[in-house]
């Protein structure tokens, strides 16, 4: 049973001790109470595990630590979800920060609008040199009533931006066991339930760009494979939401599927390339998608992807 009023913050982390300390400090500094924190150590190989345990001791009983085998943020968040106790759930990447009044503002927004399942507010983007944008990042500065259909064209907030009711998270179910775009796929799964949004016209969190490696930002075959799986999950969510295939958002997403199919093909991921291209073809009747699928069936998905990549390079 969820504990009334409690905000549970879930923080997956992998080899990022210094940033983890800052992320936890930003939760502890919240003006709202009660709060708790679940750190899911995703099989760190450096001193991150020790840092997490030290944070649990320093901030007992607010902080709990889970150790999970390395499998990416989706698996780590799911392990933490299983033990989170709060009426509200906050997801926080270990390299981002919450601003002090985030919970105060967003819990109040949800209390004022009981029909809404999540609240969000302005997100500030900060660059590696310390420079921060003066305007809200992506579309977090706009009032948007529902996550679909706009969430199909862009993940227009970042992981720390929304605060969810626990009931919404429970209805969405388990996190996908992916290491790339699992957060976008999960947002779309939530969106499929028609969740309404409460908007706070104030700064609530900071997303930090930095020079440390991000596995999800690398165009490796493993990352492309997970991106392909995430996109297919997003399409499934859109269909469950009964979005009109002829809508601008669905047609945009068909182009995204097609572009990713070509990338996967060039990387040798024939199965993923075929699945994505076929999925794009179920939404869009665009001539280039139909032609590409026919060519790939003859010369192979890798060759088709490589030819497409070469053509793109020549055009640029």
Give the model confidence (pLDDT) of 115-131 as tens digits.
999 999 999 999 999 99
- What range defines the domain where residue 254 resides? 244-315
Angle formed by the axes of helices 270-283 and 221-240, to 10°? 30
Which pTM was predicted?
Answer: 0.93
Q: What is the CATH number of the domain that holds 202?
A: 3.90.550.10
pLDDT score for 314: 85
In DSSP terms, 13 is beta-bridged to 41
Residue 236 lies in a domain: no
For the chain, how many structural domains are there in total?
Answer: 2
- Do 256 and 185 have their domain in common? no
- C-alpha to C-alpha distance for 276 and 253, rounded to whole angstroms: 11
pLDDT score for 217: 57
Q: Which residues in the chain come in under a pLDDT of 70?
A: 212-218
* Residue 248 CB-density burial (10 A; 0-12 exposed, 13-18 middle, 19+ buried): exposed
- Do 125 and 261 have their domain in common? no
pLDDT score for 312: 84
What Cα–Cα distance (Å) separates residue 288 from each residue in 261, 262, 280?
Answer: 13, 12, 11
Residue 94 lies in a domain: yes
Within the chain, residue ranges assigned H as helices are 17-28, 48-58, 73-81, 102-112, 166-172, 182-191, 221-240, 248-266, 270-283, 287-299, 301-315
- Do 86 and 125 have their domain in common? yes
- Do 207 and 265 have their domain in common? no
pLDDT score for 215: 52
- Do 183 and 287 have their domain in common? no
Residue 235 lies in a domain: no
């Amino acid at each position: 049973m969820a504990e009334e009023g409690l905000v549970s913050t879930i923080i997956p982390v992998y080899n990022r001790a210094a940033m983890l300390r800052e992320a936890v400090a930003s939760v502890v500094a919240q003006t709202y109470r009660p709060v708790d924190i679940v750190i899911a150590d995703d099989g760190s190989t450096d001193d991150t595990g020790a840092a997490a345990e030290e944070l649990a001791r320093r901030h007992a009983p607010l902080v709990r630590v889970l150790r999970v085998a390395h499998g990416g943020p989706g698996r780590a968040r799911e392990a933490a979800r299983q033990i989170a106790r709060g009426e509200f759930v906050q997801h926080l990447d270990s390299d981002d920060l919450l601003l002090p009044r985030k919970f105060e503002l967003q819990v109040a927004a949800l209390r004022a609008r009981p029909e809404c399942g999540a609240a969000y507010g302005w997100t500030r983007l900060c660059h590696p040199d310390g420079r921060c944008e003066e305007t809200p990042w992506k579309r977090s500065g706009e009032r948007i009533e529902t996550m679909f259909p706009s969430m199909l064209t862009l993940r227009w907030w970042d992981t720390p931006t929304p605060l969810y009711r626990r009931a919404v998270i429970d209805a969405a179910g388990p996190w996908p066991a992916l290491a790339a775009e699992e957060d976008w796929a999960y947002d779309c799964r939530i969106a499929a339930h028609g969740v309404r949004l409460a908007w706070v016209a104030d700064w609530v969190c900071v997303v930090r760009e930095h020079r440390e490696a991000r596995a999800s930002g690398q165009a490796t075959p493993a990352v492309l494979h997970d991106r392909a799986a995430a996109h297919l999950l997003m399409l499934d969510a859109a269909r469950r939401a009964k979005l009109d295939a002829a809508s601008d958002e669905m047609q945009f997403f068909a182009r995204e599927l097609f572009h990713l199919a070509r990338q996967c093909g060039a990387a040798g991921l024939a199965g993923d390339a075929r699945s994505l291209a076929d999925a794009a073809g179920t939404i869009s009747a665009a001539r280039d998608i139909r032609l590409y699928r026919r060519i790939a069936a003859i010369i192979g998905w890798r060759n088709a992807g490589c030819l497409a990549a070469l053509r793109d390079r020549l055009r640029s």
